[in-house]
Structure 1
Amino acid sequence: MSEIRTKVQFVDIDEDMAGQRIDNFLRNQLKNLPKSMVYRIVRKGEVRVNKKRIKAEYKLQAGDIVRIPPVTLEEKDDEPVISTKLNKVASLESNIIFEDDHVLILNKPSGLAVHGGSGLKFGAIEALRALRPTARFLELVHRIDRDTSGILLVAKKRSALRHLQAQFREKTVKKFYFALVMGQWKATCKAINAPLLKNEVNSIVRVNPKGKASETRFKIIEKFDDATLIQASPITGRTHQIRVHTQYAGHPIAWDDRYGDRRFDAYTGKCGLDRLFLHAANIKFVHPSTEKVVDISAPLEAKLERALKALRKSS
């Protein structure tokens, strides 16, 4: 691991960069600089905005000129470079189902984490950055579980990220998932309101009165002998929400390694299924630039379609 000394930089803040705190801006600009050092150079007045000292919570405005002082960064010689020639990375190009100057939507494959870390060299966002090397900005708007497939929303501008995340906070984004669950789902079960509490040690989520308010709405799509294909729409966005709510209702999702039932896995395994049958199938949101409603659907992967076909045949 070697060190490099940067030169003083002057950055003009445009509309797209405005609104973020100066500490977050610096951490993005100086990626290998320790967080403590970022706050130190701000506190010592080495960072200037319009030639004036500022505090770490200062929010940048369009037209500001930020002076970033020279700093010493650690250059990680062994940091892996994600190659677009890797099959897993290259194949993602065909999984991009919508893209313009503001938004990119990926039909994420099951088994691919949304970002690297915890022993993973890369996730969906790192792979997309490798596929779009000239993109100045690519950030996740939200997350879905590693084993869940389907729609993943990515912002290509900071202003788009703020706009879309505000919609998620205000719960105006409509998301619809397909899930194959055990047994016969009752038509009368159209919603589950059950608070969820996450165990911070093992990340297992349970229904618990001390948890956070959580609501999921359900609709039956198709019934089979011993399974039901349902549509699930999470109103809140808790960790593992759909998976836990279906389990709580007595109908766990097929091939759920945390909340599932092995008997159901054996039953669906005869249909060729070997992955979590939870798919983010549709999303509706207001486009951050045009202000028009965007309605995007992501098709099921072939393995899920084949499993449904086999279930229809056996039923």
Structure 2
Amino acid sequence: MNSKPTNAQSVQFLEVPEELAGQRIDNYLRTQLKGAPKTLIYRILRKGEVRVNKGRVKPEYRIQGGDIVRVPPIRLPEPNETPVVAQPLLERLEQAIVYEDKGLLVVNKPAGIAVHGGSGLSFGVIEAFRQLRPEAKELELVHRLDRDTSGLLMLAKKRSMLRHLHAALRGDGVDKRYWALVRGHWPTGTRKVHAPLLKNTLRSGERMVDVNPEGKEALTLFKVLRRFGRYATLVEASPVTGRTHQIRVHAKHAGHSIAGDAKYGDEGFDKEIRDLGGKRLFLHAVSLNLTLPDGTPLSLNAPVDETWEQVMGQLQDD
């Protein structure tokens, strides 16, 4: 029984080791099929070409120790086809590290850099850090940020850390806070946006999310931090659930789209912010609070970039 897939274009059967139990099948396949585009993994899952214990599974299925995963014939890049990340980006990401120990690495991801390769991108943050930390053989993303969102991103250097943080994320063991610059005058005080979200994929392959009663439950807490007249508001967003594009869609649903959001934003507002030099999505993962496996509390904060600071400096307080 194979434990790792090869580049041979034939059906393979992988036995899941006990230490990987609890991972989603899509994440497991992305780990095992290094270099395979995310779209390919979701396609073979959707078509039922991936089987677990001879049965079809959905992407959200969580694997168990001893599961037998059937992987269909696919073409993976040869080892010498691994993309080489340019030195300037490697240096930029190395300088963006805000915390590192034997099991965990946390980086203040710049806006515009994807967390992983795929969808036309040859590499992202995870590929860069595998190049920067070749000794960390088990390096994996703990969670994801949209390409245009900046801020704190966790990478586990050990399987034990990955399992610990995935369990914490499924419960309430990780407190994540975001800053967002939104259009208009957000109402005073903390506000809940509790609206189900449904993912759709357009013919172009672009992924869009809508508020839809048939979608998955989603809850975000918003708190006003600073006002700029009736024009804009800086809010803190705390996602209670972790749905795709959740903060962006919930902000739009509340009538206050995030500045610079090409998918869900307001064109007029976005243009005004761009005219101030704000050529980015104004969503930033600003803080993380969690407990490490040994019981030590960890509290991290990440500063916003120069573009964000410059735009904020030009806006007039209420």
Please state which band the TM-score falls in when normalised by the shorter chain. 0.7 to 0.9
Change (3 A) 1:77 1:238: closer
The separation in 1 between residues aligned to 2:209 and 2:316, in whole angstroms, is: 32
User: 5 Å matches for 1:1-315?
Assistant: 18-20=18-20, 58-59=65-66, 76=78, 79-83=81-85, 85-188=86-189, 190-201=191-202, 202-225=206-229, 226-288=231-293, 290-312=294-316
Q: CA offset at residue 30 of structure 1?
A: 8.4
Q: CA offset at residue 133 of structure 1?
A: 1.4
Change (3 A) 1:31 1:246: closer
RMSD of aligned C-alpha atoms? 3.3
Q: CA offset at residue 75 of structure 1?
A: 7.0
Q: CA offset at residue 81 of structure 1?
A: 3.6
Helix, strand or coil: the match of 1:19? Answer: helix
The separation in 1 between residues aligned to 2:212 and 2:235, in whole angstroms, is: 24
Q: Deviations over 1:211-262 (max 9, x none)?
A: 1110000111110020000000000000000000000011000010000001
Change (3 A) 1:18 1:296: same
Alpha carbons 1:171, 1:236 under 8 Å: kept? no
Q: Structure 2 length normalisation: TM-score?
A: 0.76
The separation in 2 between residues aligned to 1:132 and 1:155, in whole angstroms, is: 12
The separation in 1 between residues aligned to 2:249 and 2:76, in whole angstroms, is: 42
Structure number, greater radius of gyration: 1
The separation in 1 between residues aligned to 2:201 and 2:127, in whole angstroms, is: 26
Helix, strand or coil: the match of 1:206? Answer: strand
Alpha carbons 2:117, 2:124 under 8 Å: kept? yes
Stretches of structure 1 that go unaligned for 5 or more consecutive residues are: 6-16, 44-55, 61-72
Alpha carbons 1:20, 1:59 under 8 Å: kept? no
The separation in 1 between residues aligned to 2:34 and 2:116, in whole angstroms, is: 16
Q: CA offset at residue 172 of structure 1?
A: 2.3
The separation in 1 between residues aligned to 2:34 and 2:311, in whole angstroms, is: 44
Change (3 A) 1:136 1:263: same
Q: CA offset at residue 200 of structure 1?
A: 3.1
Helix, strand or coil: the match of 1:308? Answer: helix
The separation in 2 between residues aligned to 1:109 and 1:188, in whole angstroms, is: 29
Helix, strand or coil: the match of 1:251? Answer: coil
Alpha carbons 2:19, 2:65 under 8 Å: kept? no
The separation in 1 between residues aligned to 2:255 and 2:149, in whole angstroms, is: 20
The separation in 2 between residues aligned to 1:210 and 1:75, in whole angstroms, is: 38
Stretches of structure 2 that go unaligned for 5 or more consecutive residues are: 1-5, 9-16, 45-49, 55-62, 68-74
Q: Structure 1 length normalisation: TM-score?
A: 0.77
Helix, strand or coil: the match of 1:199? Answer: strand
The alignment covers a number of residue pairs equal to 272
Q: CA offset at residue 32 of structure 1?
A: 8.7
